[in-house]
A and B are shown apart, each in its own frame.
Chain A
Amino acid sequence: MSLDETIESALRDSPRIGVSSRLRREVMEAVRLERQPPLPFPRRRLLAALGLAALAAGLTVLLPASAAATPPPAALLPLAALLAIPQLLAWIEAW
C-alpha cells in the first residue's frame, strides 16, 4: 500500500471507540454539584442602570459646581470614575 493510500485509509477507517457509562454518570454528578448554569449576564439592564446612576451623580456634582462658576477639579474625579464603570463592565464581560 502506498503512503497516500495508507494515510487516506487510516483517516477514513479510523475505528470508532465506544463510550463507557462512566462518562455520563460523572458528567451528571459534576453538573448536579454545580446545580445550575449561570444565567446570561443582564448587561443591557445593568449598563442602563449604571448609566442613569452616573448621569444623576454627574448632575449632582456639576450643577452646584457650575453655580459656583469654577468647578473644583477634585469634584470631577468621582464623576469620571462613575462614567468609566459601564465601559469597564463591558470590557470585563467581553474578556
Chain B
Amino acid sequence: MREDPDAADVEAVLAGNVERFAAIVERWQETLVNLAYCFTRDASLAEDLAQEAFLQCFRRLAQWRREAPFRTWIYSLALNVYRSQLRRWRLPLEPLSDTLAGPSSLAAELLEAERQERVRRELGRLPPVYREALALFYLEEQDLAATASALGVPVGTLKARLHRGRELLRRRLRRIFG
C-alpha cells in the first residue's frame, strides 16, 4: 500500500522535525494560492492569505484527525482563514474600461477577456458558501465527489450551491454588463 505523503510529513513534524513542513508547503502551495486568488484576484494578496493558512495549518497540525483526508482538512482550514481575512478586506472593483468598447475584433476579444475577468472578480464577492463551492469545483477540475468531500457536504448539497451560485453570478453580471 502506498504511504500517504501528507500523513508521513505530518507525523514527522509532530515528532519534532519542523523542516518536513516544507514538503507540505511545497505540495499544497499552488492549490492554496490559486484558491485564494479565486477570491482576491490579486497574486500578492493570494500569497499572503496562503501564508496565513499555512501558519494556521502548522499550529493546528495535531488536530488533523486521520479519518478525513488531509486534503479535506487543509481546504477547510484555508477556507476558514480566507473567510475571516476577506471579511476584513473590502477590495475595490475597478469599472469596466470604456476604451475597450470599440468595434474591432481585437477590441471585442479584449472586451470578452475583461468580461471574464469581471466574472472571476464577482465570484469573489458571492456569499461564502457559493463562492467556495464554485471556486473549489473548478479548481478540482469539476469533480463533484472531490469537491463535496473537500467541503464536507453531500454531493446533492454541492449541486444546489453550484446552481444557486451560478444564478447569483448571472443576476449580478446582468446588472453590470447591461
Of B18-26, B76-84, B143-151, B152-160, the segment with at least 4 beta carbons within 8 Å of chain A is B18-26
Of B1-9, B66-74, B98-106, B165-173, the segment with at least 4 beta carbons within 8 Å of chain A is B165-173
- The residues of A with any CB-CB pair to B shorter than 8 Å are 1, 3-4, 6-7, 9-14, 16-20, 22-24, 26-28, 30-32, 34-40
Overall SS of chain B's interface: helix
Tell whether B177 is near chain A: CB-to-CB under 8 Å.
yes
Count contacts between A and B, CB distance < 8 Å. Answer: 97
- The minimal Cβ–Cβ distance linking A4 to chain B, given in whole angstroms, is 7
> Given A11-B138, A20-B47, A37-B60, A6 and B13 touching (CB < 8 A)?
no
Interface string of B18-45 (1 = CB under 8 A from A): 1101100110011001100110000100
- The minimal Cβ–Cβ distance linking B80 to chain A, given in whole angstroms, is 15
Number of interface residues of B (CB under 8 A): 44
A37 with B13: CB separation less than 8 A: yes
- A4 to B116 Cα, complex, angstroms: 11
- A34 to B56 Cα, complex, angstroms: 11
